[in-house]
Amino acid sequence: MNASPEQQRVLLDIADLDRRLQQAERQRTTPAEGPRINELAKERQEQLRELTRLTGIRDDVRTELARVESDVKVTEQRRTRDSDRLAASTNSKDAQALEHELVSLALRISALEDQQLEVMDRAEQAESDLATQQALIDETTAEGSELTARAKAAIAAAATEIEHLTRDREEISADVPPALLDEYTRRASRGIGVGLLRRGTCEGCRMMLSGTHLNEVRHAAPDAVISCPECGAILVRTGESGL
């Protein structure tokens, strides 16, 4: 295959555009924020499960506190009733029984109030734990929202860049013979499509050509399409090739 040196040099520009297109496509499909966003999504699921558990604990404590408060109220009402009965009693035996019951009720109320204080402490702790967990979820959500917005912006920028690079590639490819462009595309699909020969080294694979190969390249026609013996890329010769 033959192509003018100028047409072959255009392949270097096309390769550079292809490299930038690949980078932009990676940014569009796998933005840098993606892994952290996925981590945050998993963390938030775990945090929500913990929130559900803590909510259950809080609700159970509230139920227990309501029961204790009800017991205190009922017992106090009973003590008030017995006190009234004692004040109105004229029977010494009944009065003695009421006095004993009032002592028992006083002890019962004291125990219930101690229990009430203990449950109230647990209720306060449960509310604090719940608030702390909710704050953690809010923090995770905020970070996720910020990263998602940044990822969307990066994806949009990458899509715009792909559009511009694709247009540029189409414009400069118009100056390359279809057969040469097809050959470059075929080689690029398998590895390295084109490489500049600079000071005896293929910049596609960074390998220095042997003296024998350099001599072959030196004697090749200027419009001959030659290949790197190491990577198979199309070797583009310029004044920097060291021939």
Q: Give the model's pLDDT for residue 120.
A: 96
In this model, does residue 232 exceed pLDDT 90? Answer: yes
Q: Give the model's pLDDT for residue 155.
A: 96
In this model, does residue 147 exceed pLDDT 90? Answer: yes
**143-180 burial code (b ≥16 CB/10 A, e <16):** bbeebbeebeebbeebeebbeebeeebeeebeebeeeb
Residue-wise pLDDT for 33-79, tens only, equals 999 999 999 999 999 999 999 999 999 999 999 999 999 999 999 99
Cα 166 to Cα 11, 47, 189: the distances in Å are 15, 44, 17
| Region 195-199 average pLDDT | 94
Ordered by where they begin, the domains of the chain are 5-25+176-237 (no CATH), 27-173 (1.10.287.1700)
H or E element that contains 70: helix 34-88
pTM of the model: 0.71
Helices (H) then strands (E): counts for the chain: 5, 5
Residue-wise pLDDT for 116-139, tens only, equals 999 999 999 999 999 999 999 999
Find out whether 154 and 34 touch, Cβ atoms under 8 Å.
Answer: no
Cα 155 versus chain centre, distance: 15
Q: At what angle do helices 178-190 and 5-29 cross, to 10 degrees?
A: 50
Instruction: State phi, psi for 217 to the nearest 5 degrees.
Output: -65, -40
The three-class DSSP label of residue 197 is strand
In this model, does residue 188 exceed pLDDT 90? Answer: yes
**How many Å apart are CA 42 and CA 39, to the nearest integer?**
5
Amino acid 224 reads: A
